Amino acid sequence: MAEYVIYETVAVLQINNPPLNVLSHHVRRQLMSGLQQALQDTAVRSIVIMGKGQIFTAGADVKEFGTEKALSDPSLPTLVEAVAASNKPVVTAFHGTTLGGGVALALASHYRLAASSVKIGLPEVEIGIVPTCGVSQRLPRLVGLQTAVQMIVSAQTMSAQQALTTGLLDKVVSGDLLSEAVGFAKSVEVQALADRRVGSRAVPGADTAEDVLDAARKRLVRRSRGAIAPLTCLQAIQASLLPFETGMKREAELGQYLWTSWQTGALRYAFLAERTVKRWYLPGNKTVNYRTAEPLVINSVGVLGAGTMGVGITICLLQAGLKVVLIEANKTQLDKAVTLIQRSLGGRSHSKQLSHQAMQLRATTDYRQLGEVDLVIEAVFEDLALKRKVFQQLDSVTKPQAILATNTSGLDIDKIASATQRPDKVIGTHFFSPANVMRLLENIYGRHTSPETIATAMQLGATIGKVGVLVGNCPGFVGNRMKGLNFTEAMFLLEEGAEPQDVDKVLEEFGFAMGPFRVSDLAGGDVHWRRRIQAGLTTEQGPPPNTPLLYRQGNRYCPLADMLCMQGRFGQKTGAGWYRYESGSRAALPDAVVHRLILKHRQDNGLQRRNISSQEIVERCLYPLINEGFRILEEGLAAGPQDIDVIFLLGFGWPRHTGGPMYYADKVVGLGILLRCLEKYRALHPRSAHWVPSSLLQTMATQGTSLTAWAAGSRL
């Protein structure tokens, strides 16, 4: 609701809709009625709009979008325009965070005030909408095109000080916001309003406008990769150069265009899915869930292994204010890691000027220092025997109630847990590289993992600013199990006629930041090669004895990646992989050596080259992965499609504007079309088991059920 209080001649309207003061229908109704009351009351000479609680407002109510409530009177545009039309001065005073619709109210007001700690932002582009309600028209008039583009198109938040400098704020206050706002409102009661109305101003620096917009357009064309919201938002900003009323009409048209696009639905879904997965439960036993399981309190964490992952994990633990004991047997490696960690946390190594966070780190080669930690994250080399040995040691040196987590990217959690006397306290915490940057934490429970251990790992994820997704135990877990198929098919496409750069280009146009071959070169081809060797699919010298080159373990197999690794071409780190890299450069250059290797491979094995369309590349690379997602749901390894989608959005660079693989299949491709496509490729490639449609997909496609509707019904 919104509260209405009078302070002498000032009417204060306070939004009170905890926790985030979103501008839901009942809030808008009360704000509107408060505004009307203040306008009618002759004793009132000015109006303050502010928020109660933690923040001013998180903006429009995203959960109302698509429902009748979003349009019910007063809609947000109606409320905002009523504020703009007020003939008494309106002062908006914000604190905490002010997003979207909150900024719209502020821009329509005559004055803007904020607490010094405020963060101001326009996240609309991230949920695929234009910042309407006049934001795209008023903001450039107030702060200029350059700043408006930065705020609207890149959704960057602004500090109070920046907002003051750019002219978005009239004043930053450090005292009590309510009394400051009331005092300020009183001081402007006699001021004329005409030039305080942002809509009546001209955009400053209009002579350089085209240059600014052109530069932004070029940047966006390069970066948007199929997402339509950023360029549409830019068009709305451009309309601010027109007379205000014309610009408002254009803003509304562009807003409607985005609103009705499928991408907006996908982005809104992604926003909500990231929050839905926090409400975790065991797919096979819903009684074990975020409500019934209590996490342990974690104050100190041990990290075992100071390689790239160990360092990244340590940084995010320290950043969250936890104490960390970092263990590494190799002293040189340990020292190197400490320097990296201190540098990243802003402290200087070997000086007294270490940041407070860096001072919470104890780095040692001595395992016994783990005796007092509450939880250990093991990040040693990806080798089952090694990890089992390490867990045996951890079991003996840590206190009995400590949780033992493994940062494996696909090894069997139960096999690791069985090396200890406390399998109930063993869990997988799969971080993604770089661990201090990537927001995903794939948490994997084993057969014996206790609810308390799961709750603790999920809570730890939230503490360190990650989105934790809980999944069951299977080779590769959810992410790598699905992703592996994408690369498998990408390689088959090389056998049939494509070049690595063709496949990468199509998938980058689809929206991925990098295609599968560039990703492989970045990650290092040797990582998966070792895994294939361990799985018995290949050897360091080539195919295992008596194995056909193009078939392994009953399935079609492409040996091209193995051939590259046998030549020491591991990707960027060796200067060559699927591409070649000039010294010091990360630019992937097509390589004649790879071209000849593929050509020879085709010739040697009688593989016919044909032209492969972009559509086929998308279908071949993405549909088996999606089919595997259905299998994962069928096997009860993920609670719902949202969990899978969040893993791909946050861990694998899946383009957000498509919602994630499962949403894309359900809402963009259509389950019926997906099923027919899988069947078509199954007939063409009978030796690839991943084309066999999952029975869950078959049932849903045949019954015409929507995956998202099915999931919404089954979610806790």
Ligand X SMILES: CCC/C=C/C(=O)SCCNC(=O)CCNC(=O)[C@H](O)C(C)(C)COP(=O)([O-])OP(=O)([O-])OC[C@H]1O[C@@H](n2cnc3c(N)ncnc32)[C@H](O)[C@@H]1OP(=O)([O-])[O-]
Query: What is the binding site for ligand X (CB under 6 A)?
Result: 20, 22, 58-63, 76, 97, 99-101, 104, 123-124, 127, 131-133, 135, 272, 275
Q: Where are the beta strands (DSSP E) in 256-364?
A: 281-282, 285-289, 300-304, 323-327, 361-364
**Nearer CB in complex with ligand X: 19/606:** 19
Phi-psi region of 30 (alpha: psi -120 to 50; beta: other; left: phi over 0): alpha
Query: What minimum distance in Å lies between the beta carbon of 467 and ligand X?
Result: 10
211/322 Cα distance (integer angstroms): 47
Residue where the block lists tokens 């719902």? 640
61/78 Cα distance (integer angstroms): 15
Query: What minimum distance in Å lies between the beta carbon of 457 and ligand X?
Result: 18
**Nearer CB in complex with ligand X: 101/515:** 101
**Nearer CB in complex with ligand X: 12/58:** 58
Query: What minimum distance in Å lies between the beta carbon of 62 and ligand X?
Result: 4
Please, are residues 630 and 636 in contact by the beta-carbon 8 Å criterion?
Answer: no
Query: What minimum distance in Å lies between the beta carbon of 342 and ligand X?
Result: 29
**Nearer CB in complex with ligand X: 96/423:** 96
Reference 147, options 178, 130, 168, 133; nearest CA is 168
**Nearer CB in complex with ligand X: 99/617:** 99
**Nearer CB in complex with ligand X: 62/358:** 62
Query: What minimum distance in Å lies between the beta carbon of 569 and ligand X?
Result: 43
713 C-beta neighbours (distance < 10 Å), count = 9
574/593 Cα distance (integer angstroms): 15
Q: At what angle do helices 25-40 and 76-85 cross, to 10 degrees?
A: 20
User: For strand 323-327 and strand 46-51, is the pairing parallel, antiparallel, or unpaired?
Assistant: unpaired
**Nearer CB in complex with ligand X: 129/188:** 129
Q: What are the residues facing 158 on neighbouring strands? A: 120
3-state secondary structure of 16: coil
Query: What minimum distance in Å lies between the beta carbon of 56 and ligand X?
Result: 10
**Nearer CB in complex with ligand X: 398/642:** 642
**Nearer CB in complex with ligand X: 101/655:** 101
Query: What minimum distance in Å lies between the beta carbon of 491 and ligand X?
Result: 39
SS3 annotation, 556-615: ECCCHHHHHHHCCCCEHHHCECCCECCCCCCCCECCHHHHHHHHHHHHHCCCCCCCCCHH
3-state secondary structure of 112: strand
270/463 Cα distance (integer angstroms): 21
Phi-psi region of 584 (alpha: psi -120 to 50; beta: other; left: phi over 0): left
Query: What minimum distance in Å lies between the beta carbon of 659 and ligand X?
Result: 16
432/312 Cα distance (integer angstroms): 9
Query: What minimum distance in Å lies between the beta carbon of 428 and ligand X?
Result: 24
Phi first, then psi, for residue 44 (nearest 5°) are -85, 130
**Nearer CB in complex with ligand X: 123/479:** 123
| Token pair of 674 as six digits | 């997906």
488/532 Cα distance (integer angstroms): 12
**Nearer CB in complex with ligand X: 34/255:** 255
Query: What minimum distance in Å lies between the beta carbon of 254 and ligand X?
Result: 12
Query: What minimum distance in Å lies between the beta carbon of 512 and ligand X?
Result: 24
652/646 Cα distance (integer angstroms): 9
Query: What minimum distance in Å lies between the beta carbon of 97 and ligand X?
Result: 5
3-state secondary structure of 62: helix
Please, are residues 572 and 521 in contact by the beta-carbon 8 Å criterion?
Answer: yes
**Nearer CB in complex with ligand X: 52/505:** 52
The continuous run of DSSP H or E covering 50 comes out as: strand 46-51
Query: What minimum distance in Å lies between the beta carbon of 169 and ligand X?
Result: 17
**Nearer CB in complex with ligand X: 258/373:** 258
Please, are residues 397 and 389 in contact by the beta-carbon 8 Å criterion?
Answer: no
In the complex, residue closest to ligand X by CB? 100
Question: In b/e form, how buried is each residue of 209-236, taking b as 16+ CB within 10 angstroms?
Answer: beebbeebbeebeeebeebbbbebbbbb
34/88 Cα distance (integer angstroms): 13
554 C-beta neighbours (distance < 10 Å), count = 8
Q: DSSP character for 542? A: B
**Nearer CB in complex with ligand X: 253/366:** 253
**Nearer CB in complex with ligand X: 98/407:** 98
| Token pair of 562 as six digits | 């193995």
Query: What minimum distance in Å lies between the beta carbon of 146 and ligand X?
Result: 20
Query: What is the full DSSP assignment across 500-533?
Result: HHHHHHHHHHHT-SS-HHHHHHHH-HHHHHHHHH
Query: What minimum distance in Å lies between the beta carbon of 57 and ligand X?
Result: 8
**Nearer CB in complex with ligand X: 59/500:** 59
AA letter at 246? T
| Token pair of 399 as six digits | 């206190």
Reference 309, options 433, 437, 465, 411; nearest CA is 433
85/105 Cα distance (integer angstroms): 12
Query: What minimum distance in Å lies between the beta carbon of 136 and ligand X?
Result: 9
3-state secondary structure of 426: strand
Query: How far from 341 is each of 307, 314, 332, 378, 462, CA to CA, in Å?
Result: 11, 8, 14, 17, 21
Residues 6+ apart with CB under 8 A from 32: 74, 78, 79, 82
**Nearer CB in complex with ligand X: 14/132:** 132
**Nearer CB in complex with ligand X: 128/651:** 128
Can you give the length of the chain in residues?
A: 716
Residue where the block lists tokens 């016919």? 608
Query: What minimum distance in Å lies between the beta carbon of 133 and ligand X?
Result: 4
Query: What minimum distance in Å lies between the beta carbon of 18 and ligand X?
Result: 10
